Structure 1
Amino acid sequence: MFKTKALTLPGALLCAIVLAAQPLAASAAGNGPAAIVQSQLARSQAQLAAQQGLAEYQQSKLQAYAGLAPDNMAFDVSSMEELLQARIGHGFEIHTIKPQDVAGGRTDLSGMATPTGSWRFVVQVGDKPIGLVTVELMDGRWQAVSFGGAGLAREYEAVRVAHGNSDGSNLRFIRVYQAQSDLLEVISTNDGKARFAAMKSAQESLLRFGLNKVQPDAGLFDASQLMQSLRAAVSKNLDVQH
């Protein structure tokens, strides 16, 4: 039987969460050192908000399922003990591409991707990814807004382990909403070239538009190998919307 008790956070984490709750300063302009510092600050604050959100989720489930087997969990866990062992791992900002850019004939997939301001952080038990926490800036404060996505968490971690550098800074997550496709951009540490991992959503969506005819190199596509399928999928969905 599980005992109901308060989830006590370490003092350092509590202090960090207080800092994360502070409103962000005005965004730095340009791409200079100030902008880089601002981006790093956003990542740090988003991660702390994810930690706070996970702690609150764990506490709520501990109270709801005291003495009972957990059911309908957002995360891929088999017991309450496993959920309480969960910690925040690597995170990534969600980028997207304007459908007009894709449908209009642009081909520089990397250049078209822009940040949405939303972040997702892998939740893991040991080395096992069990889901994601999504964090957004709302009313000037970072907040955890959703939990789940165990399949995507496993996909992301597999690509990160195979192709990411030590901190995952050579990876960029791109969601093309109108194509219902998630891509993970990988900047090669050898030649600096951008290649792309097509996540399951992209494979399923773009299969109807010829992606199955393209053979990726070591599981990664060049932008040119993806653009025709992406453009067809985006154009088709834009036509449906109109």
Structure 2
Amino acid sequence: MNNVEKTILSQYANSPTLCQLIKNFDQYIDPQADIDAFLANIWRIDTAVGRGLDIWGKIVGLENGRYLRVPYTEISFGFNEAGTDSSDSFGSGTFFSGTYLTRNFALSDDAFRTLILVKAMANIADGSIPGYNQLLRNLFAGRGRCYINDLGNMMLRYTFEFNLEAYEIAILTQSGALPRPTGVLASVMQLVLPGVFGFSEAGEFEPFGQGTFFTGGNNVVTPVGASYLDQTFVLNESTLT
């Protein structure tokens, strides 16, 4: 209790024995340490850990909590054009069975905190592109430029002009927390500038002999359990292939 002396009646305030007993009792039952621990480990999202983050996950509506169900595909028999990451040759690969497998991965506290913030901001987004842009600016403040591109034909793209962590890519593409209008295909693109070859009119691209061509790789945002994963992710504890 703060200022326990103020709670002692005036007629007992000069009794050293009684005052000492009250001070000792106050130290024995003082809840301040427990209150501080509760605020730090559960109440404040920026410092919450473990069970505290699990509670926050339920509050914002993450049904699977800190677990991401991420699809992956086995290497099956296919043509050379598909590349060795997704197909194999005669004598090495089996035919695709037609079913996709999924794996559950537990996010670390820091990664789960990011997922909670994504879902919390999505819950209050107004569904407009300016609203989504504000969400990205709040979530990735100080990281670089990130914004929404309206691609037309019921498609939009989340563009990031900086490198995302592997768990951030998985959260954005596989958690289902990233907002998008119903029926709209969303994708995620990382375009790290400078370092990409382009024309001088663009202003931020590199000339001949300096930059590499952009690979055009996008990560498609899919519902949880969907069968699309076009990149290898490392989620702290695990490697997805």
- Normalised by the shorter chain, which TM-score bucket? under 0.3
Q: Normalization by structure 2: what TM-score?
A: 0.26
Q: Larger helix proportion, structure 1 or 2? A: 1
Which of the two has higher C-alpha Rg?
2
Q: Larger strand proportion, structure 1 or 2? A: 1
